[in-house]
Structure 1
Amino acid sequence: MIKYALACDKGHEFESWFPSAAAYDEQARRGLVVCPECSSNRVAKAIMAPAVVGAARASLPSAEAPTEVALLDRRQRALRDAVRALRREIEANTDDVGTKFAELARSMHAGQTPERAIRGQATGAEVEVLLEEGIGVLPMPAAPDKLN
């Protein structure tokens, strides 16, 4: 993985990770690297100082070592907040049935159990069978804090 400091033709600066230098070059050539602020695909590498670990910093005990933090732009923060709000709404208005989700969803669909809003866990195979049976299910968005 390689992190590049980038800037668009409108002067917005941002950083992005790429699997390799060649991957960046290919994505940039195809116009896939876009500015998160203005969506311009006229992006170039900006001057970037390499991170150098000095002897004093390298000798810090792990408890004192700096924590790596992801920097988010305004739209990414708004999206993260929206996902958090959606998860809170789902959690407040559904019952967590855990691993019994597929079984209970099927039972409700067949009219054997009173319908109610539920959430829980299901394997990919269970979800596939539910969908084939005409039982509508949706994945719950991952908690943003658990992805970082």
Structure 2
Amino acid sequence: MIIFDLICTDGEHRFEGWFGSSNDYADQQHRGLLDCPVCGSANIAKAVMAPNLGRKGNQQPVVSRTVDDRPEPPTVAKPVINKVAVPAEYQEMIGKLVKAQEKMLANSEWVGDKFADRARDIHYGDADEKPIHGTASKEEVADLAEEGIAALPLPLPVLPPESKN
């Protein structure tokens, strides 16, 4: 996983995006799948990020001295933990949602970015009727809706089968 700081160029809203790789980010950006969680704008770019670099191996830590010129023990930096406390009832609810989605997708076929085409084929009788899931841009979903083809977003993200270990 790679985390990018993203910025909405319309409203200058900053947020994080988690991607499987830099190529995943570029692909989602190209297909218009990224939007601002604050205002919904699709004008998203990577924000400038400072690299997380450690101290060089040849650099010594700065040792401060006490009043009587004895070295103070070096302070140890504590790791920053970005863990948010989630109430137990939310954890339970998310767990139930995960199980429900897994049950829904158990008999569904992953069609990747061919979702809109496959949904049309099924709707118009050119393919056997069966549950499918995949990815589609906002425009593709809007076009499907105009044609009377129902397509609903999944409540939780789904990793493509080829991305799973």
8 Å Cα contact 1:93/1:117 also seen in 2: yes
2:148 corresponds to: 134
Of the structure 1 ranges 134-143 and 117-126, higher mean CA displacement relative to structure 2 is found in: 134-143
Shift of 1:75: 2.1
Identity of aligned residues (%): 29
Q: Indicate the RMSD between aligned Cα atoms, in angstroms.
A: 2.0
Normalized against structure 1, the TM-score is what? Answer: 0.52
8 Å Cα contact 1:84/1:143 also seen in 2: no
Shift of 1:81: 0.7
Gaps of 5+ in 2: 1-73, 159-165
Q: Distance in 1 between matches of 2:137 and 2:103?
A: 23
Alignment of 1:25-64 (within 5 A): 56-57=75-76, 59=77
2:123 corresponds to: 109
8 Å Cα contact 1:108/1:114 also seen in 2: yes
Aligned to 1:113, the other structure's residue is in SS state coil
Aligned to 1:56, the other structure's residue is in SS state coil
Structure (1/2) with the larger helix percentage: 1
CA distances 1:37-61 after superposition (whole Å, capped 9, x unpaired): xxxxxxxxxxxxxxxxxx734x35x
2:96 paired residue among 79, 82, 87: 82
Q: Distance in 2 between matches of 1:131 and 1:103?
A: 13
Shift of 1:143: 4.2
Deviation beyond 6 Å, 4+ runs, structure 1: none
Normalized against structure 2, the TM-score is what? Answer: 0.47
Gaps of 5+ in 1: 1-54
Aligned length: 85
